[in-house]
Homo-oligomer: A and B are copies of this chain.
Amino acid sequence: MSKTTRSEAAPLTADIGSETIPLKQACVIAAREVIAAEGCAALSLRDVARRLGVSHQAPYRHYPTRDDLLAEVLRQCFAEFAQALAARTPHENAQDELGSLGDAYLGYAAAHPVEYALMFTDPWPQAAHHPAMAQAAKIAFDELRSVLTRVYAQVPAPWQMAWVERDALCIWAAIHGLASISRLDATAALGLAPVSQLRAHVFGMIERSMANESVLNNNIPKQTDT
């Protein structure tokens, strides 16, 4: 009787570990455990319910759809990711700081492969339907914009914003592409070197590209000071 009917002043909470917290939060924690253990595709609300010792329908009260729970997990992951990027080691030289941002990015991807794959390679729930998730993702991306704005601090306004947007995309594409490749296990199948050796290559491409751009700086815009 203590389990089949929850007549014992059941507190709308669930036990997870040793804590007792609201079911809504407990669902997210359990979902991340499932994803970490068996991957995103294996996430099921029934499994979450079973782990929390509640009925198979209870989680649906808080997350009407599997995607709604997934979007909340993603929102948290993006927030943690943004925090990790913001915690990069600062540098006087903006170009060096760009490097440390890249390190922070790859460091996070390496340290949290499950979360990274969840954010960037597993299919998203429709972003338009989950604005909180999209917002959290944008905040993370703005870290890159912010560093690039420093890099191009000397560039006059009309060019600066365009260059920042352009390089933000390029750098993200290159680094995410690298992370993506490493995840696919494609390096072995395609006869590529192991990913550990590839990081320097991609960083080198970015640096050469921007170095070449800085040569053009002398041609196109007149610097404001110096």
Which among A122, A127, A176, A181 has the greatest number of chain B C-beta atoms within 10 A? A176
Q: How many copies altogether?
A: 2
Interchain CA distance A209-B204 in the complex, whole Å: 8
Stretch at the interface among A14-22, A81-89, A163-171: A163-171
B contact residues around A174 at 8 Å (CB)? 170, 173-174, 177, 205
B contact residues around A186 at 8 Å (CB)? 124, 127, 137
| Contact partner, A169, options B184, B189, B201, Cβ 8 Å | B201
Interchain CA distance A160-B122 in the complex, whole Å: 36
Over the window 151-181 of chain A, the binary record of Cβ atoms lying under 8 Å from chain B Cβ atoms (1 yes, 0 no) is 0000000000000011111101111111011
Q: Which residue of B lies closest to A126 (CB)?
A: B185
The reply on A64 being an interface residue by CB < 8 A is no
The reply on A217 being an interface residue by CB < 8 A is no
Q: Which residue of B lies closest to A144 (CB)?
A: B190
The reply on A29 being an interface residue by CB < 8 A is no
Query: What's the least CB distance linking A75 to chain B, in Å?
Result: 12
Stretch at the interface among A5-13, A48-56, A96-104, A191-199: A191-199
Q: Which residue of B lies closest to A127 (CB)?
A: B189
Q: Is the CB of A134 within 8 A of B189?
A: yes
Q: Is the CB of B141 within 8 A of A202?
A: no
B contact residues around A208 at 8 Å (CB)? 208-210, 212-213
The reply on A37 being an interface residue by CB < 8 A is no
Known: A209-B205, A209-B208, A212-B211. A178 touches B173 (CB 8 A): yes
Q: Is the CB of A169 within 8 A of B185?
A: no
Q: Is the CB of A201 within 8 A of B137?
A: no
Give 15 pairs: A residue, B residue, CB < 8 Å, sorted on A.
A41-B41, A127-B185, A127-B188, A134-B189, A137-B190, A169-B192, A170-B201, A170-B205, A172-B177, A173-B173, A173-B174, A173-B202, A177-B177, A205-B205, A211-B212
